[in-house]
Every structure is written in structure tokens, then in C-alpha cells.
């Protein structure tokens, strides 16, 4: 037996081969699903809530109105 | 989310091709079908590399999570198994790189695994322990190639595909691993 064969044998004895049909003892699908759900929830949290276009239009209209008629600003503030 | 995914043999059937197409579009049932079909080989492959059953389960989950994230990059005309195995190999190597070998690995390496055979009682337990320890000190990329080629006797072509390297590179890694292992054992007073 040459050196290579000897060291290969030593390694096989130290680390016995894994069975050909080795299988996880539990069903991992629920764990995968939970991981995907957590991932999706984290993505939702990370995404800033979008402002509807109507709100931006309303704000723009108010700004234009206030610039055009500055005297109305105290009236607006009074009613806020 | 139910269990609509079913196991089916990987072949050239149009049904399987459709599953692959649906998976690429992000369909969860198709993903479950592929998971059921490939869970065992992926787990077994990872176990062969990391040699730790609990870690292999976690890494199998991590692998399929990465597979799901990468579904748009999957090419349905190519087989799913080798693609999954490549991802599993990367996950396993990442795990090996994150471990402290002397502390974490040797005990798990040599026991509590579904081994095909027990160690030869003719070889002293102390020598086996030192060999496992020396092996755990090898760089992860060499360890993976060596354990798959020498211990698990996987075909070099499959190892090369999983590691994303050539067959010649696999042989070189195995050669380097065994040379380093021999030197380490010699330092410990064992002459193979």
C-alpha cells in the first residue's frame, strides 16, 4: 500500500462515508415557508409607504393657492 | 399555503418542464414540487460536505431559500438538480468558512452521522481523531473537494460542476488537500 492509499484509508476511517440515502429527520418545507414569509414581511417593512398621487395634488394646489393669495394664509391657519 | 406541490421523477416530461417554467415565474406550488423532489439529494450533498446533521438541515433550508430568491435567474431548459447542487455547495462552503475547525467539527465529523460503515477497529481511535482534526484544519475549498472525492467517492465531474471548477482543478485540490493532511499528521507524529 503506497502513501496515497494509506492516507486515503486513514481519512475514510476518520470520516466514515455518509449513507447513500441519508435523509433529514423532519419535514423542512414548513421551515422554508416560514423563512419565505419572514423575508416577505421584512421586505414590506423596508419599503416606505407610498403617498397617493391625490394627496400630492392637493398639497400642490394649496401651495399654489397660498402663493397666489397670501392674505388667505392666516384664515387657513385659523381654521386648522 | 398548502401542500399542493407533489413529488415527481425528474425527466423530460412536459409536466416537469411546466413545473420548471412555473417555478421560474415564482409559483409557490411549483417550488414546493421541486423542493419535495430535491430535498433529499440536496440535504445529502450538504451533509457530505459539512458532516453535521443539524447544520445540514439549516443549510438545506438556506439553500432552498436562496433558490427561491434566484428563481428568475433559473433557466428552465437546464436541469434543476445540478443548479440546486451548485447553490447548496456554496452555502455549505460559506458555513465551513464561518466555523472554528478545531472546536466545532471533529466531534460531529466522526459520530452521530448516518454512516455507511463504522470505523475499522484496527485503526486506533486516537489516530482517527488526529486525522479528523488535521482534516478540519484544511482550507474549506480543499476539504470539500477531498471529502467528496476520497471519502464519499463522488465522480470528479459532479464535484467539478458543484464547485464551479474544472475536473483538473478538482484533482489538484484533492492532491493539495492530501499533501497538507500528510504534513499535518507527520507533525503530530503519525507517518501515513
Q: Which pLDDT value is given to residue A80?
A: 75
Tell me, what's the ipTM? 0.74
Task: Count residue pairs from A and B with Cβ separation < 8 A.
Answer: 122
State the cell numbers at B21. 417554467
Q: Name which of A12, A24, A36 is nearest B60 (Cβ-Cβ).
A: A24
Sign of the alpha-carbon torsion through A24, B55, B86, A34: positive
Q: What is the DSSP letter of A27?
A: -
Domain boundary (B74, B98, B122) is at B98
CATH number of the domain residue B72 falls in: 1.10.1740.10
CATH number of the domain residue B134 falls in: 1.10.10.10
Contact B188, A18 (CB under 8 A): no
> With contacts defined as CB-CB under 8 Å, which chain B residues touch A23?
40, 43-44
Phi-psi region of B27 (alpha: psi -120 to 50; beta: other; left: phi over 0): beta
Compute the mean pLDDT over every residue in chain B, rounded to the nearest whole number: 85
In a domain, B137, yes or no: yes
Phi-psi region of B67 (alpha: psi -120 to 50; beta: other; left: phi over 0): alpha
Which has the higher per-residue pLDDT, A71 or B116? A71
* Cα dist from B37 to A58, B118, B164, whole Å: 55, 30, 23
Among B92, B79, B191, CA closest to B148: B92
* pLDDT over threshold 70, residue B121: no
CB contact under 8 Å between A3 and B113, yes or no, is no
Q: How far apart are CA B121 and CA B140, in angstroms?
A: 28
Residue spans per domain, chain A:
52-80
Express the helix, strand and coil content of chain B in percent, nearest 5 each. 70, 0, 30
CB contact under 8 Å between B116 and A16, yes or no, is yes
Residues B78 and B158 in one domain: no
Read off the pLDDT of each residue in B11-18 and give the average, rounded to a whole number.
74
pLDDT tens digits along B68-118: 999 999 998 889 999 999 999 999 999 999 987 555 555 555 554 555 555
CB contact under 8 Å between A10 and B185, yes or no, is yes
> With contacts defined as CB-CB under 8 Å, which chain A residues touch B151?
11-12, 15-17
Read off the pLDDT of each residue in B122-138 and give the average, rounded to a whole number.
84
* pLDDT over threshold 60, residue B32: yes
In a domain, B2, yes or no: no
Compute the mean pLDDT over every residue in chain A, rounded to the nearest whole number: 86
Domain boundary (B98, B128, B160) is at B98
* pLDDT over threshold 60, residue B6: no
Residues B72 and B115 in one domain: no
Amino acid at each position: 500500500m503506497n502513501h496515497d492509499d494509506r492516507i486515503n484509508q486513514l481519512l475514510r476511517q476518520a470520516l466514515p462515508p455518509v449513507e447513500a440515502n441519508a435523509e433529514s429527520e423532519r419535514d423542512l418545507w414548513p421551515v422554508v415557508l416560514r423563512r419565505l414569509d419572514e423575508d416577505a414581511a421584512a421586505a414590506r417593512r423596508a419599503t416606505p409607504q407610498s403617498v397617493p398621487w391625490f394627496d400630492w395634488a392637493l398639497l400642490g394646489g394649496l401651495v399654489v393657492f397660498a402663493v397666489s393669495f397670501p392674505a388667505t394664509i392666516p384664515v387657513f391657519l385659523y381654521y386648522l | 399555503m398548502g401542500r399542493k406541490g407533489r413529488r415527481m421523477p425528474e425527466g423530460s416530461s412536459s409536466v416537469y418542464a411546466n413545473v420548471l417554467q412555473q417555478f421560474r415565474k415564482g409559483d409557490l406550488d411549483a417550488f414546493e414540487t421541486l423542493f419535495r423532489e430535491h430535498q433529499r439529494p440536496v440535504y445529502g450533498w450538504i451533509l457530505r460536505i459539512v458532516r453535521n446533521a443539524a447544520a445540514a438541515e439549516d443549510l438545506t433550508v438556506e439553500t432552498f431559500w436562496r433558490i427561491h430568491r434566484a428563481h428568475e435567474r433559473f433557466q428552465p431548459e437546464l436541469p434543476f438538480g445540478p443548479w440546486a447542487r451548485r447553490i447548496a455547495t456554496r452555502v455549505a462552503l460559506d458555513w465551513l468558512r464561518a466555523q472554528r475547525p478545531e472546536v466545532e467539527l471533529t466531534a460531529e465529523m466522526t459520530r452521530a452521522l448516518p454512516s455507511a460503515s463504522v470505523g475499522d477497529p484496527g485503526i486506533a481511535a486516537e489516530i482517527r481523531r488526529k486525522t479528523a482534526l488535521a482534516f478540519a484544519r484544511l482550507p474549506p475549498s480543499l476539504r470539500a473537494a477531498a471529502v467528496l472525492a476520497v471519502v464519499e467517492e463522488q465522480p470528479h465531474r459532479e464535484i467539478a460542476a458543484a464547485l464551479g471548477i474544472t475536473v483538473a482543478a478538482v484533482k489538484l485540490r484533492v492532491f493539495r488537500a492530501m499533501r497538507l493532511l500528510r504534513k499535518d499528521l507527520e507533525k503530530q507524529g503519525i507517518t501515513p
